[in-house]
Amino acid sequence: GNKTLNAKLVLLGDVGAGKSSLVLRFVKGQFVDFQESTIGAAFFSQTLAVPDATVKFEIWDTAGQERYHSLAPMYYRGASAAIIVYDMTNLASFTRAKNWVQELQAQGNPNMVMALAGNKSDLVEVRKVTAEATQAYAQENGLFFMETSAKTATNVNDIFYEIAKRLPQA
Distance separating alpha carbons of residues 6 and 117, to the nearest angstrom? 22
Q: Which residues pair with 7 in a beta bridge?
A: 57
Q: Which does 120 bind (CB under 5 to 8 A by kind): ligand GTP, Mg ion, none?
A: ligand GTP
Choose the binding region for ligand GTP from 18-26, 74-82, 96-104, 109-117 (rule: CB under 6 A): 18-26
Instruction: Give the footprint of ligand GTP on residues 71-110 (CB under 6 A).
Output: none
Report, in Å, the least distance between residue 37 CB and Mg ion.
6
Instruction: Give the footprint of Mg ion on residues 14-53 (CB under 5 A).
Output: 19-20, 38
Instruction: Give the footprint of ligand GTP on residues 109-168 (CB under 6 A).
Output: 119-120, 122-123, 149-151
Q: What one-letter code names the amino acid at 32?
A: V
Q: What separation in angstroms does the CA of 146 have from each of 3, 8, 10, 163, 165?
A: 27, 20, 16, 11, 15
Closest residue to bound ligand GTP by CB: 64
Residue 50 CA, chain-centre distance (Å), reads 18
Distance separating alpha carbons of residues 34 and 40, to the nearest angstrom? 18
Q: Which residues pair with 44 in a beta bridge?
A: 59
Q: What is the pairing mode between strands 113-119 and 81-87?
A: parallel
Choose the binding region for ligand GTP from 8-16, 49-57, 69-77, 101-109 (rule: CB under 6 A): 8-16
Contact residues toward ligand GTP (CB under 6 A) are 13, 15-21, 32-35, 37-38, 63-65, 119-120, 122-123, 149-151
Contact residues toward Mg ion (CB under 5 A) are 19-20, 38
